[in-house]
Amino acid sequence: MSSAPTESSQPATDLRQAYRNCSPRPLRSDHPWYTDLGAARGGDLKPRIIQRFEFKETGVPGLRDTWMRLLLLGLRGSGKTTEIHRLAAELRHRYVVLYLEANTELNAEDFDLSELILSIAVGVERHMREFEQKPLPKEALEGLQRWFAKVTRENIEERVAQVEVQGKLTAEGAPLPAKYFTSVLGMLKRTSTEREKVVQQIRKYPAELVAYANDLLRAAQEPLGDRELLVVVDNLDRYNPDTLDRCMSAGAEHLQSLDVNLIFTPPVSLLLDPRSEPLNNLYQTEFMFTPALRRADDPPDTVDEPARGLFREALSKRMDLEAVFANPDAVLDRVLQHTGGSLRDLMEHLREAFVLAQGPKLTVADVDAALHKRVGIIRDQVRISGKAELLAAIERTHSLPEGTEALQLLYRRYILKYNGEEWYALHPYVRSLPEVQRFLGPKTSAS
């Protein structure tokens, strides 16, 4: 869920409102709090992605190379979703953009390739009807409905009647097939025996599913004129990499046969440690780096420009720093030192500090108190993992070691990936732990 501009978008002047203004939710494309952190990331990613879309050929049904298949990768909490919203806004002159959150459209724990394809197709129908005010011909969805019911041996009328009796359908005027898939997708989100049986059936016929999905996608494309459909499936990095490998590597042949432009956000670890075919061999890829506060050879507590200025600008849009921080420069530097450029952790750390604040303004001591509160669970996790020495080695070398041991640490955001020559460093929370400090020399210990 993303935040939209409201009256509370005004800069906060007290701790209570500052807490509310530091929600880590992604920002909508037109939100007044947005600040472009591209200079601290090593360059603005957005123009390069837009150029890819501007240069590509017009999408032609049946010609897979004419449709965009782009992976946007980055560590969770790096600001990916906010940048996706900005990108979508800039592409809308040529593309009709449908944004889907995988964890709300699909089962939150696991999903199959067939479920992903079905969600994309049904999501397009819903978007065209509800947001573009261009409902598809009834028959565009009926073919997919009849195929699904045949494969799963379902009674269409019974499922639709069940939905209407339970009052789950809120889309007034939705055609019968849309009502049917409202129930189907709701069932697929739940972990149940029914879901397992259905998925086992539809996964047997991926080519047929793609063919019927393409009938729907082509019908959706027809009234758009020169504009093309673009579907963004976000939050895929919240899933186990094995799930994404089955869909995006093993299932690439079928995903790439869809007559629609696609952007996916798979986990970084799947790119670095492919289970089968490497993703960069199958898709165009772009990586969003964590905003860097320093260079690799700087002391770990360094906060350099332009990062300091950019983060000051970003926070100044959410709060009056003079009114909220007791010493704006010192408090800003300290919270940046503790969060390492991670946008989500910056916001969550500040919220924790606001709660712990001992006075009307936030102090350096409050920011430090929030650090001790936030690292407790991480410390236990590092102890149990037995990876303190490995973590220290990554901090010293600014690179990942051979093997796959570090990938889980990257997924947990113990490690941050920065720009320039693409160097790595420990998240300051992790670097501050005594277990890690024991293996670090004086040059890499926190000052």
Most confident option among 35-49, 80-94, 154-168: 80-94
**Run of H or E including 350:** helix 343-356
Which residues have CB under 8 Å from 39's CB, separation 6+? Answer: 306, 310
**Residue appearing with tokens 């990062």:** 307
Q: What is the pLDDT of residue 41?
A: 87
pLDDT band at residue 6 under the 50/70/90 scheme: very low
Q: What is the pLDDT of residue 7?
A: 45
Q: What is the pLDDT of residue 306?
A: 83
**Run of H or E including 100:** strand 95-101
* Residue whose C-alpha is closest to residue 53's, from 186, 266, 227: 227
Beta bridge partners of 288: 74
| 245 secondary structure, DSSP code | I
57-61, 76-80, 137-141, 175-179: least confidently modelled range: 175-179
Reported as a single tens digit per residue, the pLDDT across 273-316 is 888 889 999 999 999 889 999 999 999 999 998 899 999 999 99
What is the pairing mode between strands 424-426 and 415-417? antiparallel
Q: What is the pLDDT of residue 178?
A: 82
Q: What is the pLDDT of residue 172?
A: 58
Instruction: Enumerate the domain spans of the chain.
Output: 43-288, 307-437
**CA-based angle 153:159:165, to the nearest 5?**
165
CB of 311 closer than 8 Å to CB of 276: no
Checking if the pLDDT of 270 tops 80, the result is: yes
* Residue whose C-alpha is closest to residue 77's, from 445, 263, 346, 373: 346
Average pLDDT score, the chain: 90
Checking if the pLDDT of 165 tops 80, the result is: no
CB of 276 closer than 8 Å to CB of 310: no
Reported as a single tens digit per residue, the pLDDT across 343-376 is 999 999 999 999 999 999 999 999 999 999 999 9
269, two tokens? 């670890």
Q: Average pLDDT, stretch 85-93?
A: 93
Reported as a single tens digit per residue, the pLDDT across 101-160 is 999 999 999 999 999 999 999 999 999 999 999 999 988 899 999 999 999 988 777 776
pLDDT band at residue 5 under the 50/70/90 scheme: very low
CB of 97 closer than 8 Å to CB of 85: no
Checking if the pLDDT of 215 tops 90, the result is: yes
**Run of H or E including 321:** helix 321-324
**pLDDT: which is higher, 383 or 173:** 383
Q: Average pLDDT, stretch 380-392?
A: 94
pLDDT band at residue 447 under the 50/70/90 scheme: very low
Helices 156-166, 176-189: crossing angle, 10 deg rounding: 80
Q: What is the pLDDT of residue 103?
A: 94
Q: Is the N-terminal amide bond of 306 cis, ω within 30° of 0?
A: yes
271, two tokens? 């790119």
